[in-house]
Amino acid sequence: MIEYVENACVIDDDPISVFGLRKTFRETNFCKEITVYQNGFEAIHGLKELLEAKKSLPPVIFLDLNMPIMDGWDFLEDFIKIPEYNRQNVRIYIISSSVDPRDLLKAKSYTTVNNFFVKPITTNDLEKVIHEISQ
């Protein structure tokens, strides 16, 4: 079976959420490779290293909002500073345990954010992502 994307990036400090997401990826055959970062700081530096090595950014990023060191909002602020041509094919999906409507509104204010999912991510959520990326 063919994967929908070659690789996906998960930025989340919660090992249980990451475990669940990996399991859901396997169930839907979502991607071949998963890169996990524990916080936004690790992630932004990892993505910049990819660009310096002349590699493409992962086409899909699942981003938690509440993390130590650098949270998801700070990551987004740094991410949008990456030149558009380097990030134009990247889709960011917020994954959060927050049900605060202000978080959803704030996420929608970023053109780089494609959708917002409340944890845990289900196969239905991932099917929505698959539908979006296959359009």
pLDDT digits (tens, 9 = 90+) for 113-131: 999 999 999 999 999 998 8
CA angle 27, 31, 57 (to 5 degrees): 150
Residue 134: per-residue pLDDT: 83
Q: Please check the confidence at residue 2 and state whether its pLDDT lies above 70.
A: no
> Do residues 55 and 37 touch, judged by C-beta distance below 8 A?
no
Q: Please check the confidence at residue 69 and state whether its pLDDT lies above 90.
A: yes
Classified by CATH at the fold level, domain 5-133 comes out as: Rossmann fold (3.40.50)
- pTM as predicted: 0.95
CA distance 104 to 125: 16
Rounded mean pLDDT, 7-29: 94
Q: Please check the confidence at residue 101 and state whether its pLDDT lies above 80.
A: yes
Helix (H, G, I), strand (E, B) or coil at 34: strand
| Cα–Cα distances in angstroms (integers) from residue 69 to residues 6, 12, 41, 64, in the given order | 29, 12, 7, 13
pLDDT digits (tens, 9 = 90+) for 25-58: 999 999 999 999 999 999 999 999 999 999 999 9
